[in-house]
Amino acid sequence: MKRAVPTLIAATVGFVLVIAFFIPATQSWGETAVVWFNILAGVAFILGGGNLVKVQLETISARRKGYGYAIVTLAAFFAMLAFGLLKIGVHPQAQYPLHPWAGPHDAPSSPFGWMYEYIFSPITATMFASLAFYVASAAFRAFRAKNVEAILLLGTAFLVLVGNTAIARITDALPESLAFLRLDSIVANLMTYLSTGAWRAITIGIAIGVAATSLRVLLGIDRPYLGRT
Amino acid sequence: MRAPIVRFALVSCAMLVVGAVRTHAAPPPPVEASAHDLPWDDGTAIEITWRAPESATNIAGYRVYRLLSTEEQKRALRDRRVAAADVAWKAAYESNTSASDRIELATAAATAAAERAGAEGMPDEVAVGTAAANALRYVAAPVESGRAIAFRVRSFDADGNESPAAEAGSAAATIEIFLGTRAWFFPLLIGLCAIIIGCILLARAGRPIKVRRIAGLDAIDEAVGRATEMGRPVLYIAGVQDMDNVQTVAGVTILGRVAKIAAEYDAKIEVPTARSLVMTAARDVVQTAYFEAGRHDAYNPDTIRYITDEQFGYVAYVAGRMVREKPATCIYMGQFYAESLLLSENGNAINAIQIAGTAESSQLPFFVAACDYTLIGEEFFAASAYLAGEPTQLGSLFGQDVSKLIAMVVIVAGVILSTLGGLGLSMPKAASDYLANSILAS
């Protein structure tokens, strides 16, 4: 019973979503299921926040290595939570000028908005920017000509890279009868035929895999949401 | 002599004037305009059709208008007043920072702005779109289902001059029983499910199922064993999406298999998650795996923790953890975006064995470049069944392979039809067009 009821609920909701995809009159059922998921996710967020605080407090309490980071994490967490939840420093809205809490908590002029804009966003952008260095190091390793496949990969990548630069214009001097040897033409053929064909093969495999996995979950063969796999 | 010249000049001027008038004359309106419900849709579209006027040569296109009801006109007026008041209030509030009666000043400015906005008249129609000169059809969407809405059509020339309106009448969009645009997708889906279920039933009946070896999954045993020997943890990342994502579901399912191996080998497994629901599901899965391995005493829920929903905040934590703890094995199974390379390059820097699997095709090259093994697309979805090794699960894998075989047959048939169509045969061309535009487009 403990397993049968959740499995039945999951299967019912899953099949409702599939039916809602084809029968317009049932689309609202699918939307209701999504609303229920959002409610569950909202409640689970409290669990997640609680877990975060617990783990950081344990780290500080035990004076584990790097516990200073835990202090920073907790301070940032509670500061954002307080300013966002209590709407501290929020400006009132035109419709309700006498009620300061009516304003949005994340308006650029509010302290929450300021922290998001001038502390959080730059840190996030920094992390994202570091990706450029990782791309360079990964490319250096991937393009080492170790075997035939790697040499083919390196050659193709070189053609695509050069073909997208101004250097490719040099091959424009080739006569019309040899136009297929122009770099931009080679790059276009590589991208249109070889690359697209490969991506389509992967995409078809993914679509079939998604259908099989969904079917296993809906039929209760795989039940990750119950702990039993 | 002068009279003919003057006459010639007058006639020329008259011709120029007539020509100019003709150039700027409005084109004739379309004829037989009518609005009706679009068949086999979800009740959110109305189709407007018309015919081109006779002997019309200067029509550049048609513009379709929706007539506003009295209620809509009132609502539009109210929205305009509110928008004007909002802008005026904010401007006055921000400019009078030092005034003690700041709110009163802003309120007065908002009231004046709303009155000014309300004094302007409201049109009874709104343009919803344009159609090309040869289209003669327009689908207005989205519209409110079940409510009669009136439309009118005007033709326009290259200079933008519009004809008088052709009233198309009113129509109400109704919800149909089935979506016509997905008519072919339904039998395709049923067929795919039937093949997979059929193969599962065959496997249950005892028919031996053989599946090809997947190197990345065979390496999991070795990778977990290495972590045990080195006394370092196994780091498992189930992507950065929630449990409503099928890749996360697959990632959590594979986690159960990996956790069981880790429990058997007495290796420590760490699962930082980017979603609270994933954390709770992962805890249940890992706990069950430890119970199944007979190592329930070794299960520690604190190794499965929630970090943050924020993508790069999560990356910062995991990358820092990698550098400090130096896990021997890193496994990435789920949906990934830009973090794929950030994580896998960090794992590479600490010489961890790395196994990745995702269906996010844009991230696959990064994993291939940085990881030792990568499960590409459908291999990732097959992983759970492959690791389980149960007949039922392997049956579904066999069903996937049969479905791929059918897809290959359809592709070859499409290529042959398209090639024959290219050679000028009309039947194969019509068949390949139908396959591409109707069956596969659904």
Query: Are A25 and A123 within one domain?
Result: yes
A 10 A CB-CB count for A62 gives 10
The DSSP string of B353-375 is EEEEEES-GGGHHHHHHH-SEEE
Does residue B102 have a pLDDT over 90? no
Query: Are A88 and A34 within one domain?
Result: yes
A41 vs B399: CB contact, 8 Å cut-off?
Answer: no
Query: Are A144 and A206 within one domain?
Result: yes
Please report, for chain B, the start and end positions of each structural domain, with discontinuous segments joined by +.
26-172, 185-206+393-439, 215-389
Structural domain span for residue A195? 133-226
Query: Are A82 and A145 within one domain?
Result: no
Residue to mutate among A2, A47, A127, A141, with most B CBs inside 10 A, is: A127
Query: Are A109 and A34 within one domain?
Result: yes
Query: Are A138 and A122 within one domain?
Result: no
Tens of pLDDT, residues B39-82: 999 999 999 999 999 877 789 999 999 999 888 888 888 888 89
Find the helix or strand (DSSP H, E) in which B47 lies. Answer: strand B46-51
Where is the domain boundary, A104, A131, A158? A131
**Whole-angstrom distance, CA of residue B428 vs CA of residue B442:** 20
Q: What is the pTM of this model?
A: 0.80
> Among B377, B380, B328, B376, which Cα is nearest to B354's?
B328
Find the helix or strand (DSSP H, E) in which B152 lies. Answer: strand B148-156
Q: Which of residues 189-228 of A touch B (CB under 8 A)?
A: 199, 202-206, 208-217, 219, 221-222, 224-228
Average pLDDT over residues B378-382: 92
Q: Does A35 touch chain B (CB under 8 A)?
A: no
Q: Does B217 touch chain A (CB under 8 A)?
A: no
pLDDT at residue number A65: 86
Q: Which two tokens stand for residue A71?
A: 């202090």
A229 vs B182: CB contact, 8 Å cut-off?
Answer: no
Tens of pLDDT, residues B202-260: 998 988 888 888 899 999 999 999 999 999 999 999 999 999 899 999 999 999 999 99
For chain A, the domain total comes to 2
Residue to mutate among A98, A213, A218, with most B CBs inside 10 A, is: A213
Query: Are A13 and A117 within one domain?
Result: yes
Query: Are A184 and A109 within one domain?
Result: no
A24 vs B179: CB contact, 8 Å cut-off?
Answer: yes
A 10 A CB-CB count for B137 gives 12
| Residues in B touching A208 (Cβ below 8 Å) | 192, 378, 400, 403-404, 407
pLDDT at residue number B1: 47
Radius of gyration for the alpha carbons in chain A, expressed in angstroms and rounded: 28
Where is the domain boundary, A131, A163, A184? A131
pLDDT at residue number B57: 78
| Residues in A touching B380 (Cβ below 8 Å) | 209
Side-chain half-sphere CA neighbours of B100 within 13 A: 0
> Among B259, B237, B257, which Cα is nearest to B247's?
B237
Q: Which two tokens stand for residue A220?
A: 């209760």
Tens of pLDDT, residues B386-429: 888 888 888 999 999 999 999 999 999 999 999 999 999 999 99
ipTM: 0.88
C-alpha separations of B173 from A45, B36, B138, B145, B363 in Å = 40, 8, 14, 5, 42
pLDDT at residue number B21: 46
**Whole-angstrom distance, CA of residue B90 vs CA of residue B85:** 9
Query: Are A110 and A54 within one domain?
Result: yes
The answer, yes or no, to whether the previous bond of B391 is cis (omega within 30 of 0) is no
A47 vs B397: CB contact, 8 Å cut-off?
Answer: no
Query: Are A103 and A19 within one domain?
Result: yes
| Residues in A touching B105 (Cβ below 8 Å) | none
How do the residues of chain A divide into helix, strand and coil, expressed in percent and rounded to 5? 80, 0, 20
Where is the domain boundary, A99, A131, A163? A131
Query: Are A121 and A203 within one domain?
Result: no
Query: Are A18 and A123 within one domain?
Result: yes
User: B215-389, what's its fold?
Assistant: Rossmann fold (3.40.50)
The listed CATH number (2.60.40.10, 3.90.1570.10, 3.40.1000.10, 3.40.50.1360) that belongs to domain B26-172:
2.60.40.10
Does residue B439 have a pLDDT over 80? yes
Give the residue on A whose Cα is nearest the Cα of B182: A22
Min Cα separation B370/chain A (Å): 6
| Contact call for residues B243 and B275 (beta carbons, < 8 A) | yes
pLDDT at residue number A153: 85
